[in-house]
Structure 1
Amino acid sequence: MKTKLTAILFTDLAYFRTTHLSMQQGNIHFCSLLAGSKALTHKQWVAQLPCWHKSPHSPLRCLSSRTAMAEMEDDLADAMPRRGPEDDEDSERDEDERDWVVWDEEEEEEVVVVVDTDMHLSKVDTPPERSGHIAVVDGNFMFVWGGYKVCFQNAEAMGLFELYLPRSEMWIYNMETERWKMQLTEGELPASMSGSCGVCVDGVLYLFGGHHTNGNTNLVYRLPLRCPVLRWEKMTNLKGLAPTCKDKLGCWVYKNSLVFFGGYGYFSQEGHRGTFEFDETSIIMGNHIARGWNNHVHVLDLETLSWSQPVTKGNSPSPRAAHACAAVGNRGYVFGGRYMNYRLNDLYYINLDTWEWSEMSVPQNGPVGRSWHSFTPVSSDHIFLFGGFTTYRQTLSDAWLYSISKNEWKSFKHNHTESPRLWHTTCYGPEGEVFVFGGCANNLLSRERAAHSSELLVFNVQPKSLARLCMEAAVQHRDRLETIWDYLPKHLLHNLKQRMSSNNTMGS
């Protein structure tokens, strides 16, 4: 038996190189991996991996094949979002439990060596493709952080190799000039993660939960976005009983509080209210901490810096993850998500003053059940639904507008029907535009290489402002109008020149 593997080493200086390992007659030979390396038996190699993993100076993280995974136990953590088995024959991965999977049709053993430090920093003018990231809006700027992407593919072994995006990178999109820029962050950086929950309150980004190389987390970070230097702060002085470690949850911002709902993560702690549904596959795949879906509601008060869990009333939604939430007035809406083997199309809202749940009727001509979609408020009466992933493994490109006053769904016609997306982000801009960034364009759970996207899709859900129309006309008729641009106010001239120099504009 002979198996080839490509390993990636990253150092704290963002230096990396690829190294080939070969396994032959039970020995693993490190070829130019480390100076003075020697051949080790498979058991000796596996035995040393936990030591390298725990070393504070080592960038190595390891994930192994099905046969070695049980031996490594919790000492070996993921270098990508966890994957888990599915009942379907065409896939062994799902959005709730994502362990590293190497496809091996010939029953050969695979060993995967990867890294848990930042990837080399991006050297491009636009953000790399990604899924499972976060995005928030502050003024005319959209901030994008985290997620993961495909690094390369070992075609011979049919292995998908994916890495988290650098945790120090914050990508900022100017909605007026249609330009991207990357700014490095400082301070107490969170781990590189996917499936986190990010919201912006008064110019401050709050980050909760997610999945990193050691599993799920329930830590909270804050990042002021209006400062020249972006500096992360870890919120360690929070009082009260925190939620369990989880990812793929939803959040509503109401008054001066963050209200979190649902998600997929560790078993409920004593004192938590709500339902936890255990996922048996989380144990089958070698994880030794029970995971599952929940429908818990947790409130983080940003004034008192304390956690609380309200006593809810009414018919609460089932446990779920990879759902989408939207806050309109004092109502927190939640649509869809995955529960067990089902992807849902139910719609609930909770009164954020009385904590009473209400279920809305599901029309026959409404959107199909889905997870990994987006649900974005675009007015006091409408919420915009886009994309997602169905129970039948279809990646969606449909868009819908939900009318709150009429309790009615209407299909939204657009020009991006050939751009399906799942696990993307959606932000609503001040000019009545919905910005969809990143996500995966194909079946993320299939054996084919995931088509992570770096494309920015723009949907116009309201008429463009006069200023925006004039800006677009000036760009379109540059040859005729450029000679009189100098008569424009300075800030308009600056925006116009920035837009003209942009090489990444995306039309709607």
Structure 2
Amino acid sequence: MLSARERSDHTGFVDGGFLYVWGGHHSVAGEQVFLPSDEIWVYDMSSGVWSICAMGGEVPPTLSQTCGCCLNGVMYIFGGSTEDSHTNQLYCVNLRDGMFAWRRVTESKGSPPSPRDKHSCWVYADRLIYFGGYGCKQTREVTRSRNFITDEMSWVTTGTTLFRFWGWNNEVHVFNLRTNTWTEPQTHGVPPKPRAAHSTATLGRMGYVCGGLESRLMDIHCLDLEMWTWTEIVPVSAVPVGRTWHTLTASSDSTLFLFGGVNMAGEPLSDGWRFDVQKKEWRELQHPHTDKPRLWHSACLGQDSDVIVFGGSRDYTLVMDTISVLLSPSQSHCSDVLVFQIQPLPLVRLCEDCVGRNARALEEYLSCLPKKIQENLRKRISFFKNDESQGTCHSR
């Protein structure tokens, strides 16, 4: 049966009952290999069936640690690193028209962010709002910026290119989809420290950020996406350990769900936490996937307030590159779908799952039901048959 390739560092979104997975990298003979940018995998969450679709148009290069987001069925990717450089290009593709034709966003007004990777994005009011990341700047940019921390290791790795510095930033850049314009709003309050490989989520008009590289504590901050005011949230409870390459997903109107990542000791994590933004309280969530640590995975909200996690790495080993004196990760990649039930399921979903699990006893009665219900139930029957044959990779 067709199944998406194992991968990490990919982009994944749920739209209209389907999980879309693009890009990333996996291992071939011990080497990290980037997956093609001219294909996208589609997972029907009702039936548990994967399909692969070719992509055309202005196909982006293969990218590492790019930032993806989705709005109204259109996927956008910005930045990332290619085999030999960083980029600040923006691409988009319609996920709903069946054409999967890439378009490079050009002729925009304003100045885009400098090239970067390991950044994040909030989506709000037809705007893509990018935060943080790791990249390079020229000397004059670093001198006048208070939003940039230089990576001292880069002084060694840049060789003779002394006019450029690498490091982390806490900048906020906005791309307005209506006007095709880049802006850098003036923010107020105390911003988070510069960081990369952090996680973000949007709740209403607020953008939340927590964790990441160069941030050893699990701090959490929010940015008002209309007033551009930063606020640090001081939890009233115990907090998760500091981490990076984790995910943060808005799971209700007032809660965020944090999963996985790697701690400062390089240990992969499998814990899940809910943060109540009103009570300012972290609470660890009991779940059935504690034996499946993940980092560099994707996570997104499903149709029934469940969080869908795909892929990622289950281990993390640092390998020293003696030429560039950089630390790089070596990982074992995954291709399973993990579902976290954050809220009680609706009655319709419970009934469909009951039929799906007991298909042998109930399938003969399906013909008595309306065609639309029959279609949904046959997908659920297919889902549980696939689940059984593949060994509960979709367990909840």
User: Are 1:413 and 2:286 counterparts?
Assistant: yes
CA contact (8 A) 2:47 2:382 kept: no
User: Are 1:150 and 2:27 counterparts?
Assistant: yes
Q: TM-score, normalised by structure 2?
A: 0.90
Match 1:460 to one of 341, 352, 356: 341
> What SS is found at the alignment partner of 1:344?
coil
Q: How far 1:445 sits from its partner (Å)?
A: 2.5
Distance in 2 separating the partners of 1:507 and 1:304: 44
- Write out aligned runs for 1:310-389 (5 A): 310-339=185-214, 342-363=215-236, 365-389=238-262
CA contact (8 A) 2:114 2:137 kept: yes
Q: How far 1:501 sits from its partner (Å)?
A: 3.9
Relative distance call for 1:373 and 1:151 in structure 2 (3 A) is same
- Write out aligned runs for 1:180-259 (5 A): 180-259=50-129
Distance in 1 separating the partners of 2:28 and 2:312: 15
Distance in 2 separating the partners of 1:319 and 1:285: 21
Q: How far 1:316 sits from its partner (Å)?
A: 0.7
Task: Show CA shifts across 1:299-347 (max 9, x none).
Answer: 00001101000111111111000000111111111001111xx533111
Relative distance call for 1:326 and 1:355 in structure 2 (3 A) is same
The structure that has the greater radius of gyration is 1
Match 1:481 to one of 362, 366, 373: 362
- Out of 463-472 and 380-389, give the one that drifted further: 463-472
Distance in 1 separating the partners of 2:354 and 2:377: 11
Q: Which residue number corresponds to residue 8 of structure 2?
A: 131
Q: Which residue number corresponds to residue 423 of structure 1?
A: 296
Distance in 1 separating the partners of 2:126 and 2:395: 36
Relative distance call for 1:363 and 1:369 in structure 2 (3 A) is farther
User: Are 1:295 and 2:175 counterparts?
Assistant: no
Match 1:261 to one of 123, 131, 134: 131
Distance in 2 separating the partners of 1:283 and 1:319: 18
Q: Which residue number corresponds to residue 54 of structure 1?
A: none
Q: Which residue number corresponds to residue 46 of structure 2?
A: 176
CA contact (8 A) 2:236 2:280 kept: no
Relative distance call for 1:437 and 1:373 in structure 2 (3 A) is same
CA contact (8 A) 1:387 1:397 kept: yes
Q: How far 1:492 sits from its partner (Å)?
A: 3.0
Distance in 2 separating the partners of 1:265 and 1:491: 50
Question: How many equivalent residue pairs?
Answer: 376
Amino acid at match of 2:85: G
Distance in 1 separating the partners of 2:261 and 2:319: 15
Distance in 2 separating the partners of 1:364 and 1:392: 23
Q: How far 1:290 sits from its partner (Å)?
A: 2.8
Q: Which residue number corresponds to residue 507 of structure 1?
A: 395
Higher relative contact order (CA 8 A, sep 6+): 2
> What SS is found at the alignment partner of 1:265?
strand
- Out of 279-288 and 225-234, give the one that drifted further: 279-288
The share of aligned pairs that are identical, in percent, is 40
User: Are 1:451 and 2:328 counterparts?
Assistant: no
Q: How far 1:270 sits from its partner (Å)?
A: 4.5
CA contact (8 A) 2:318 2:330 kept: no
Amino acid at match of 2:98: P
Q: Which residue number corresponds to residue 394 of structure 1?
A: 267
- Out of 470-479 and 345-354, give the one that drifted further: 470-479
CA contact (8 A) 2:23 2:34 kept: yes
CA contact (8 A) 2:212 2:243 kept: yes
Q: CA RMSD for the aligned pairs?
A: 2.0
Distance in 2 separating the partners of 1:345 and 1:361: 11
CA contact (8 A) 2:235 2:280 kept: no
Q: Which residue number corresponds to residue 31 of structure 1?
A: none
CA contact (8 A) 1:375 1:383 kept: yes
CA contact (8 A) 2:27 2:333 kept: yes
Amino acid at match of 1:507: S
Q: How far 1:175 sits from its partner (Å)?
A: 1.9
Q: Which residue number corresponds to residue 33 of structure 2?
A: 163
> What SS is found at the alignment partner of 2:211?
strand
Q: How far 1:449 sits from its partner (Å)?
A: 5.1
> What SS is found at the alignment partner of 1:296?
strand
Q: TM-score, normalised by structure 1?
A: 0.71
User: Are 1:497 and 2:366 counterparts?
Assistant: no
Distance in 1 separating the partners of 2:264 and 2:203: 28
Relative distance call for 1:352 and 1:273 in structure 2 (3 A) is farther
> What SS is found at the alignment partner of 1:441?
coil
Amino acid at match of 2:48: E
> What SS is found at the alignment partner of 1:397?
coil
Give the unaligned 5+ runs of structure 1.
Answer: 1-123, 154-160
Task: Show CA shifts across 1:15-60 (max 9, x none).
Answer: xxxxxxxxxxxxxxxxxxxxxxxxxxxxxxxxxxxxxxxxxxxxxx
Amino acid at match of 2:203: V
Task: Show CA shifts across 1:346-375 (max 9, x none).
Answer: 111111111111111145621111110000
Q: How far 1:494 sits from its partner (Å)?
A: 2.6
> What SS is found at the alignment partner of 2:307?
strand
Distance in 2 separating the partners of 1:273 and 1:312: 14
Q: How far 1:489 sits from its partner (Å)?
A: 2.5
Distance in 2 separating the partners of 1:331 and 1:417: 30
- Out of 278-287 and 125-134, give the one that drifted further: 278-287
Q: How far 1:219 sits from its partner (Å)?
A: 0.3
